[in-house]
């Protein structure tokens, strides 16, 4: 994957952080996350104020999970749809190199969710195993096109994939609809 990594994209943004050596176990929260994965909800929303330990919670929890983990650490420039979807596809490609997702980011796609999301969902539906797809600091995304695409990804999400969004504020999705349909777990 390194040979086709775009120079403007940082490889460390798609690596899960290493949990701290002295991690305070929050078993109630770990249990809530475990339950969401067991229930195969497509979206787990981890929403809390700055400094609450969302990233630490997730890195510690993921270290105990057997599933493949794709991680994306969002920064403000990642609100650009082409950049966001490039990173997300590369995060999946890093977690599952045999899935061949990197060819999804063709130049003519230009990050448009109408092209990328169905193609990504089709590849993810081929997975023989579970995948936990984590997007950390999702609150930094402020482009409606990215939000629309991520919400579409949740709608189309295959049962073997769980999308975990760590954020300071709830995303502008139709959360009520997801709640009623049992398609979101909230921590």
DSSP per residue over 76-89, as a string? GGGGSHHHHHHHHH
Q: In what order do the strands lie in the sheet with 68-73?
A: 68-73, 131-136, 161-167, 43-47, 184-186
- 36-75 tens-digit pLDDT: 999 999 999 999 999 888 998 999 999 999 999 999 999 9
Judged against a pLDDT cut of 60, whether residue 5 lies above it is answered with: no
What's the chain's average pLDDT? 87
The pairing of strands 131-136 and 43-47 is unpaired
Spatial distance between the Cα atoms of 82 and 66, rounded to a whole number of angstroms: 31
Query: Residue 119 belongs to what H/E stretch?
Result: helix 113-124
**What is the average per-residue pLDDT within 117-136?**
92
Judged against a pLDDT cut of 50, whether residue 166 lies above it is answered with: yes
Spatial distance between the Cα atoms of 75 and 63, rounded to a whole number of angstroms: 23
Contact 132, 162 (CB under 8 A): yes
Q: pLDDT-derived band of residue 101, with 50, 70 and 90 as boundaries?
A: low
pLDDT at 108: 43
| 3-state SS, one letter per residue, for 143-179 | CHHHHHHHHHHHHHCCCCEEEEEEECCCCCCCHHHHH
pLDDT at 46: 96
Contact 154, 183 (CB under 8 A): yes
Spatial distance between the Cα atoms of 24 and 60, rounded to a whole number of angstroms: 9
Spatial distance between the Cα atoms of 177 and 187, rounded to a whole number of angstroms: 17
């Amino acid at each position: 994957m390194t040979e086709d990594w775009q120079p403007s994209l940082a490889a460390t943004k798609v690596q899960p952080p290493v949990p701290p050596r002295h991690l305070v176990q929050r078993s109630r929260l770990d249990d809530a996350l475990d339950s969401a994965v067991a229930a195969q909800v497509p979206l787990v929303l981890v929403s809390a104020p700055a400094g609450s330990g969302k990233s630490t919670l997730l890195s510690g929890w993921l270290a105990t999970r057997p599933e493949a983990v794709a991680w994306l650490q969002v920064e403000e420039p990642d609100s650009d749809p082409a950049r966001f979807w490039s990173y997300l596809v590369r995060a999946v490609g890093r977690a599952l190199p045999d899935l061949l997702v990197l060819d999804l980011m063709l130049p003519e796609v230009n990050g448009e969710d109408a092209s990328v999301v169905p193609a990504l969902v089709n590849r993810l539906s081929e997975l023989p195993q579970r995948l936990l797809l984590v997007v950390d600091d999702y609150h930094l995304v402020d482009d409606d096109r990215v939000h629309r695409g991520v919400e579409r990804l949740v709608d189309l999400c295959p049962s073997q994939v769980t999308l975990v969004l760590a954020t300071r504020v709830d995303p502008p999705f139709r959360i009520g609809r997801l709640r009623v349909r049992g398609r979101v777990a909230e921590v």
